[in-house]
Structure 1
Amino acid sequence: MGDKHVVRFEPVDLEMEVDEDETVLNAAFRQGIALMHGCKEGQCAACKSFLLDGDVQMDRYSTFALAEYESDEGYILLCKSHAYSDLTVELMNYDEEELRNAVPLQHLRTRVAAIEPVTRDIVSLRLDLVEPDKFTFKPGQYADIAIPGHDAHRSFSMATLPGDPLEFLIKKYPGGHFSGLLDGGLEVGDELELDGPYGTFTLKKASDRPILCIGGGAGLAPILSLLRHVVADGIDRPVRFYYGARTHEDLFYLDQIEELGAELPDFKFVGVLSESWPDDWEHTGFVTEVVQRLEPGLAGADAYLCGPPPMVDAAIDLLETAGVPREHIHYDKFTTSVAE
């Protein structure tokens, strides 16, 4: 263990302890503080903050997440920052409702219950808990699943509710570190270890604004979890769900979406196809284009975005242009990791 220091966060008047050997973000996880974060790997910029005072050194990160000029100005990524003195940090993105209300991190042993393809490149992975027998998380959050035989992990969102059997929806990529195991590398009965929960892609209970969900690919998972939460808690806010896919064959779990929608007083699902579609398909093109055309009142919504980074970036641009405050835009970007 290294020397310990104190980190003070502004403008939320919050302090915590950090060890030099851990990142600021990991120290927050350890102490139940829900700092804004995404990939935890220095690729997405969700944890970008401004260093007001103190000495920080950062592990390697992507300049797409933090440009060189931003680093020179004093911006840091909390997921890559090690404190070598007491720090004062200005949070650029934060949610006061979530900040002091984190779910403690848990380490779990699980056993593979089923591996089933749901489209040509998305697989449903279902896990049974071995130890402990309970996993506490907030709908919309994700977990890190350890890659058997390696020190690495991959992050996947839970598609279910706490207390229900765990399900993850995983997109397969050629050479994917974890997804490559889903074609025979993993079998029913194999054990997997996971850590979580992570993420702030959670329903903001204090809000009464309409809910707008925009998803693509395996980004359906956390949105399904959110929708199940809305139904289970009897939340009566209007919900609009736009899902972008390439072809009709890439749409899946439509029956589950329909069943959930039938339980809500004001729900609409729109499937958008971008590459090929039946002659009678109504909504085609990019999903953000359809959202822009059909949703004139975007500024008053809480938006939840999950899917490929280009889709999420386009949706953020659309929403900000429409006047949606950044604090009302919640998103997860899915990044890939392939074997070298």
Structure 2
Amino acid sequence: MSYTIALNFEDGVTRFIGCKEGETVLDAAYRQKVNLPMDCSDGVCGTCKGHCEQGEFDMGDEYIEEALSDEEAAEGMVLTCQMVPSSDCVIQVPVASSLCKTEVGKVEGTVAAVEQLSEDSIELVVDLDEGAEIAFLPGQYVHIDVPGTEVHRSYSFSSLPGEQRATFLIRNIPNGVMSGYLGERAAAGDRLTLTGPLGSFYIREVTRPVLMLAGGTGLAPFLSMLSQLVEKGCEAPIHLIYGVNKDDHLVKVDALDEFAAKLPSFTYATVVVDEASEHPRKGYVTHHMDAEVMHDGDVDVYLCGPPPMVDAVLKHFDAQGIVPQSFHYEKFTPNEAGSKS
């Protein structure tokens, strides 16, 4: 028996390691050349302290109160030198990956397809090299080098972790470096380098209702999240509000219909900004966040979209006095090297 442990470092790098049954996370990390912080390895100093966001484990009783208090343990804090997982886990490590002598991973792949979904969005399909599957948490992103240039752009996966074929929704930006490549030069078989995974925007264990807010190609990470929820099953209410500027910017609606058919607890609504649209729901996502989807604040909110959308949602929460149980968001800014665009 082996468990997959996602180590999320404070610089946004995620490293996945395997942990054998009965093995501590610290020992598993060192075995795989990830030097997690450590001084004593006996549960005395507290140097290896982190936060377990999800998963089951046993901490035993060999550590002392000064290293990990009862209050900290109740909040999910762990000592990796004592933590023995009994399931897959996600752990926040409060140091940079470079200090643990680990690096963000790189994988190679080839362009399988490029499809113009609308004037506003392009789907990129990448076949990863054999044996080069990239592990990630649904919602995370990678840097993709733009062929023929020395720059990269960053995109969230829209596909499920562990698949040999990775997909991405990419905003079509006039004169954009990646947009220009995809629209003018890309061909099946082109070689691509993907660096990652990165980011703290990913689906956590679902224990209450979830509200997903997507703007444009910010839909991508939610497609990945929903794929995992369908695979694992979920009974909690999941509602997605997907906003775009124009009617023909709505993409992947057929995929959302499939998710709704496979996951009874999932519902979604589309919103169009254009006042000339005949769409039944016009305006911004904040105009359609009614009390029913907010569950009196007993809700986990995930938001991915351009900065103005993120700012508008934050202001809406403040104006309405809404404090969700948790709020996770990802901003993407066009035309910047390494941006989520």
| Coarse TM-score class (shorter-chain normalised) | 0.5 to 0.7
> Cα RMSD over matched residues?
3.1
- How far does the alpha carbon of each residue in 1:183-237 deviate from its partner, in whole angstroms, 9 at most, with x for none? 12221110010101011221211x4120100101110100111111111111211
Q: Alignment partner of 1:99: what SS? A: strand
Is the Cα–Cα contact under 8 Å of residues 112 and 125 in structure 1 kept in the other structure? yes
- Alignment CA distance shift 1:134-1:257 (3 Å): same
Change over 3 Å in CA distance of 1:151–1:226 after alignment to 2: same
| Structure 2 unaligned residues grouped into runs of 5+ | 1-8, 18-75, 78-89
Q: Distance in 2 between matches of 1:31 and 1:237?
A: 29
Tell me which residue corresponds to 2:212.
213
Deviates more, 1:156-165 or 1:268-277: 268-277
| 1:152 Cα deviation after fit | 2.0
Matches within 5 A, 1:9-20: none
Give yes or no for the alignment of 1:111 onto 2:95. Answer: no
Which amino acid is the alignment partner of residue 247 of structure 1? Answer: K
CA 1:200–1:98 in 2, change beyond 3 Å: closer, same or farther? farther
Distance (Å, rounded) in 2 between the aligned partners of 1:322 and 1:276: 25
Question: Matched residues in 2 for 1:285 and 1:322: separation?
Answer: 18
**Aligned residue number for residue 307 of structure 2:** 309
- CA, structure 1 residues 246+29, in 2 after alignment: closer, same or farther (shift >3 Å)? closer
1:222-261 correspondence to structure 2 within 5 Å: 222-261=221-260
Q: What is the aligned-residue identity percentage?
A: 35
Aligned equivalent of 1:144: 143
Which residue of structure 2 aligns with residue 18 of structure 1? Answer: none
Looking at structure 2, the residues matched to 235 and 294 of structure 1 have their Cα atoms a distance apart, in angstroms, of: 19
In the alignment, is residue 265 of structure 1 matched against residue 264 of structure 2?
A: yes
Note if contact 1:114-1:125 (Cα within 8 Å) is conserved in structure 2. yes
Counterpart of 1:290 in structure 2 is: 288
Q: What is the match of residue 92 of structure 1? A: none
Residue 319 of structure 1 deviates from its aligned partner by 3.0
**CA–CA separation in structure 2 for the residues paired with 1:30 and 1:118:** 30
Taking the aligned partners of 1:305 and 1:173, their CA distance within structure 2 comes to 21
Distance in 2 (CA, whole Å) between partners of 1:312 and 1:221 is 16
Determine the structure 2 residue equivalent to 1:72: none
The residue type paired with residue 304 of structure 1 is: Y
Return the offset for 1:25: 5.4
Letter in 1 for 2:225: L
**Alpha-carbon separation, structure 2, partners of 1:98 and 1:320:** 30
Q: Closer, same or farther in 2 for the Cα pair 1:142/1:182, shift >3 Å?
A: same
Structure 2 counterparts to residues 11-90 of structure 1, below 5 A: 26=11, 29=13
Q: Cα distance, 1:278 vs. partner?
A: 5.2
> What is the aligned residue count?
254
The TM-score with structure 2 as length reference comes to 0.67
State yes or no: 1:99 paired with 2:92: yes
| Letter paired with 1:197 | P
Contact 2:298 2:324 in 1 (8 A): no
Which residue identity lines up with residue 99 of structure 1 in the other structure?
Answer: Q
Larger Rg: 2
What do residues 35-84 of structure 1 show as CA deviations (whole Å, max 9, x unaligned)? xxxxxxxxxxxxxxxxxxxxxxxxxxxxxxxxxxxxxxxxxxxxxxxxxx
Alpha-carbon distance between aligned partners in 1 of 2:294 and 2:14, rounded to the nearest angstrom: 42
Match of 1:201 in 2: 201
One-letter code of the match for 1:179?
A: S
Deviations 1:220-277 (A, max 9, x none): 1001111111111112110110011122211111111011012223222111111046
Equivalent residue, structure 2, for 1:174:
174
The answer to whether the 8 A contact 1:141-1:200 is kept is: yes
